[in-house]
Structures are given as structure tokens and as C-alpha cells.
């Protein structure tokens, strides 16, 4: 079995980090999780016990500069882990979960141990929203996927999150500088950052994020909730298969190492077999 680490950086995000530790700890072992709190004013949660948790100097004060600095920092930490004996490093935000299709009946570690990764590996991105009028506010202590059933197949979250070599992630883990990507079969990146309207509205009140310039970005992200609420949900299996092919073959002209899908708005209903994963 391969030795696999997962790393992330957070600031004022314990709601998601708690779930992140729970999920990746079960899949990889808490001793293989590396968490960096952005800012010396941050206090790690007790749920981080058993992981490798560090509080570091705050990286930047404005969104673009901070994001660039954050990914430079995390790329360096991933390189250190690979040099220190890890076979793979998973880099994701605290609201992102790389999962294997439950139909395979194997863990994330088992899947990645069986998969050859030359440079990096991407999972197909699914951006979850809240279907207003059908799905109530999110409740802590209950699996996310028992409360949210719809997602947009989204190129933005088809990220090269898994590294086998010391490489440099672009902002948001969205690409690898100077390298192409490979989308793995039966592997998904589930993004839950904008899956609840109330939580999204509460984020507007976070003065720290607003000061960094996140206000416009967060308003844009509510679009996923609107799409999930208004557009017809399609059958999961044929459309994720189509999306993998499309995103593998298509590229935006401004970034040839990112996937494209013609700006299609594809909403799918997630199969019941996923309901207990996250």
C-alpha cells in the first residue's frame, strides 16, 4: 500500500475542517494529515488531535496575493512530504473531498495504491448546491450527502489535487504549472463550499474575508444554488462519463492545462450509494 498524505490550509473554517479531518483521517490515518492554520491568531480545534497541525504566520491580506502565497507555501510542504517518504500527497481546501465511487467497494488509499500516477491525478469535480424549497439548511453531525443530493459537474473543481512528484500548484489547486492533467475513472472531488444558502449569507458577515476581497467571489458562488434549484437534474452515470471525456479532450484557450466543457450547466442527482461517504 502506498503512503499517502493529505494537506490543507484554513482560516476561520472549523465547520469544514472538522469534517475534513473525520473523512481523510478515516481514509488515510490521522497521522498522515497536515493542517496549516493561516495566522497566529488562530486556535486549532480539539478535533485536530492526532494530526500534524501547525499555526503559521498569516499569508497575505488581499485575495489574489494571499492565494498565490498560500499555494506556493503548500506546494513546498507537499515537496517536503514527498522527499520525506510519502508516495502521494493530496492537496485540497477544507471543503473539498476526494472520494472513490462506492460501487468499487474500496477505500481512497486502496484506490490510489492501485493507480499509477506519473505526475499528478485529478478527480472529476462536483460542485454541490442546495435545492431551495426541497432541501433545508445544513445540519451538523449528519453526513453532508444525506442532506444534499444535487451537484453541478464543474470543471473548476476538476483539480490536479494528487501529486506524485514535487510540482507547483496554481492558485486554488486548479492546475499544475507546466504540466497537463489526467482525470481518473471513478474518482470525484466533492466541493461543499457553497452548498447552503444560510452558511453562504453568514460568510458575508465575516469581516476577515470581506477585507481580503472575497465579497464578490462569494456572491458569484451562490450561482450554483440557483442552478441546482432551477435546472432539471440529469442521470448521474451517463453524464459523468460524458464529462470525463469532454474535460479530457477540451481546453480553454487561455489555459491549456485546465479542463473545459463549453460552459455547460449540467446538474446531476447523486446516487444513493454515496450517501454515507461524507
Question: Across the chain, what does the average pLDDT equal?
Answer: 91
Q: 111 pLDDT exceeds 90?
A: yes
In the chain, the largest separation of any two C-alpha atoms, in whole Å, equals: 50
Kindly report, residue by residue over 145-202, the tens digit of the pLDDT.
Answer: 999 999 999 999 999 999 999 999 988 898 887 788 899 999 999 999 989 998 888 7
Q: Are 159 and 189 in contact (CB under 8 A)?
A: yes
Query: Does 221 have pLDDT greater than 80?
Result: no
Answer yes or no: are the C-beta atoms of 213 and 62 closer than 8 Å: yes
Minimal CA–CA distance to 91: which of 154, 169, 185? 169
Q: Is 141's pLDDT higher than 90? A: no
pLDDT at 46 (0 to 100):
95
Residue-range domain boundaries for the chain: 4-274
Residue 12 pLDDT greater than 70, yes or no? yes
Is 36 a residue whose pLDDT tops 80? yes
Reported residue count of the chain is 278
pLDDT grade, residue 257 (50/70/90)?
Answer: confident
pLDDT for residue 50: 97
Asked whether residue 254 carries a pLDDT value surpassing 80, the answer given is: no
Amino acid at each position: 500500500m502506498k503512503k499517502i498524505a493529505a494537506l490543507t490550509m484554513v482560516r476561520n473554517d472549523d465547520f469544514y475542517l472538522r469534517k475534513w479531518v473525520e473523512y481523510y483521517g478515516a481514509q488515510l490515518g490521522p497521522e498522515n494529515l497536515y493542517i496549516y492554520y493561516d495566522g497566529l491568531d488562530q486556535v486549532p480545534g480539539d478535533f485536530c488531535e492526532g494530526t500534524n497541525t501547525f499555526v503559521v504566520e498569516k499569508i497575505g491580506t488581499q485575495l489574489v496575493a494571499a492565494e498565490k502565497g498560500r499555494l506556493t507555501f503548500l506546494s513546498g510542504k507537499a515537496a517536503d512530504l514527498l522527499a520525506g517518504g510519502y508516495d502521494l500527497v493530496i492537496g485540497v481546501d477544507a471543503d473539498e473531498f476526494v472520494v472513490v465511487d462506492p460501487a468499487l467497494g474500496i477505500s481512497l488509499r486502496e484506490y490510489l495504491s492501485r493507480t499509477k500516477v506519473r505526475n499528478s491525478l485529478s478527480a472529476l469535480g462536483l460542485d454541490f448546491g442546495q435545492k431551495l424549497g426541497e432541501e433545508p439548511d445544513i445540519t451538523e453531525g449528519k453526513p453532508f450527502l444525506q442532506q444534499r443530493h444535487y451537484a453541478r459537474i464543474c470543471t473548476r473543481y476538476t483539480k490536479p489535487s494528487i501529486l506524485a512528484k514535487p510540482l507547483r500548484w496554481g492558485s486554488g489547486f486548479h492546475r499544475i504549472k507546466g504540466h497537463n492533467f489526467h482525470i481518473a475513472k471513478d474518482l470525484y472531488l466533492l466541493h461543499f463550499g457553497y452548498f447552503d444558502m444560510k452558511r453562504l449569507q453568514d460568510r458575508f458577515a465575516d469581516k476577515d474575508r470581506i477585507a481580503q476581497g472575497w465579497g464578490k467571489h462569494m456572491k458569484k458562488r451562490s450561482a450554483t444554488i440557483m442552478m441546482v434549484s432551477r435546472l432539471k437534474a440529469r442521470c448521474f452515470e451517463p453524464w459523468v462519463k460524458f464529462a470525463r471525456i469532454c474535460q479530457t479532450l477540451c481546453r480553454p484557450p487561455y489555459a491549456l492545462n485546465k479542463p473545459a466543457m463549453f460552459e455547460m450547466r449540467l446538474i446531476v442527482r447523486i446516487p444513493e450509494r454515496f450517501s454515507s461517504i461524507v
